[in-house]
A and B are shown apart, each in its own frame.
Chain A
């Protein structure tokens, strides 16, 4: 009887010891996590350098709207229509259906993060051309039209001065915006457009 009581006591002691260790480990992890958030906000690169990138990613949450916007940024695409030999606006929203009408849309995010990354831009080019050819949506270009490539840009719409009367933001066709507000980041190489269209191109850009 005594032996059984002692065994039970030892077992509960061991369990309590493990609970204490687990609690200490969890507290340490929590402190490190909160410290990394604070350091990241303070501009310290230790968390990004010291933690594996997938873990550091979850600590990069505090730097929200730190800079004044110089313009309202929107990202758009045009497609090279083979039969017309010209660039026509391609509405990307049918091919990026998550949050299609605001800048949380994945096309906007791809452009925001990766517009200077050629590999991603080539992949985006392939994706848009293939999507239009294989499962055309309501993208502003006739379903039967082949497209040979895309060019992608940002629109930099000026912010109206404080106190002025201005129109509420809405998405207009590309033609609504002056050329000075467009900044091109990517254009399908001409040779590739020609190959996809299966013909020579007249425009020499």
Chain B
């Protein structure tokens, strides 16, 4: 098979929609957790009550000047953000709510550069992918209403560019982040990790580890993180190394969340993407079979266990090539 055919096959191959549903359920909650401090002070965040950076007329640090909103508008956006986020998470009018949620997140990130972090920049794109993709078909209010109306379940597998995008996103982030680290200090400064765990982000766990971990181990951990990030495209692409990469990634983000205070929301965002994108199919299959059993005998019963049948995969690939 040529590279192009392989890519097309990979993109068009039916994938378990539950991957998208994991993101749909967990991501809005993570994002709202991050945004909560902002939303509860919406008049300071988006309105005129707080400090606003003036219009700097094209300064590189100000991607777009958005004038302060009246207090009522700032609070309205906060309420819309929370309502649409909750609706997306429970899968109620999923597409519309995800579009609204994504729009409020885009606005929030652009309106206030001072309160914008990686979560602010990544989350609108991820939620937009949910809005475009077939999210809200399983474990959702929409799915339940559909079944009640038609007597059928939506398919649990189908081709989805959104799932593929959400699988590629963390790997691209790791690779880019690893390259940036290697180009900066991580290859010649032995204590970059240690130097980052002081200051106002420091949690009790970080404080404890800063005192007990010996100097060489900090350098070993730093090397392990750098290797993991720069090789992520290979380790996540190759089936044999994927489980190890997944476990390392989850462990790394768990430690980041435990050691860096407010960075916990970014850690949870990445954990959600990793679990949704790379949880092994046997585990997903078991989960889908369980939910299918709970949903009863109606509708589509295909599950990922049949996708693991090599004969079926080969037949599908052959028929696709022939077509």
Are A and B part of the same complex? yes
**Quick check: B121 and A57 within 8 Å, CB to CB?**
yes
Least distance between A198 CB and chain B CB atoms (Å): 25
Give the contact stretch, choosing among A7-15, A59-67, A142-150, A182-190: A59-67
Task: Say whether B113 faces chain A, with CB atoms less than 8 Å apart.
Answer: yes
Nearest CB of A to B209, in Å = 11
Task: Give the dominant DSSP class at B's interface.
Answer: helix
CA distance A123 to B172 in the complex (A): 39
B200 touches A123 (CB 8 A): no
In the complex with contacts A43-B180, A95-B51, A98-B44, A120-B56 CB distance below 8 A = yes
A109 touches B114 (CB 8 A): yes
B236 within 8 A of A: no
B207 surroundings in chain A (CB, below 8 A):
168-169
Known A97-B41, A110-B51; contact A168-B204, beta-carbon cutoff 8 A: yes
- Say which one of A68-76, A79-87, A172-180 lies at the interface with B: A68-76
Q: Does A203 contact B (CB under 8 A)?
A: no
Q: Does B283 count as interface, using CB distance less than 8 angstroms?
A: no
Size of chain A's interface in residues, with CB distance under 8 A? Answer: 64
- Neighbour of A41 across the interface among B165, B168, B180, CB < 8 A: B180
Q: Cα distance A41–B11 when bound, in Å? A: 25
Is there an interface contact between A30 and B200, defined as CB atoms closer than 8 Å?
no
Once the chains bind, are A169 and B211 in contact (CB under 8 Å)? no
Q: Cβ of B139 < 8 Å from any Cβ of A?
A: no
Residues in B whose Cβ lies below 8 Å from that of A34: 165, 168-169, 172
**How far apart are the CA atoms of A39 and B287 in the complex, in Å?**
37
Q: Is the CB of A69 within 8 A of B161?
A: no
Contact of A98 among B37, B110, B118, B202 (CB under 8 A): B37
Query: How far is A162 from B221 in the complex, measured between Cα atoms in Å?
Result: 14
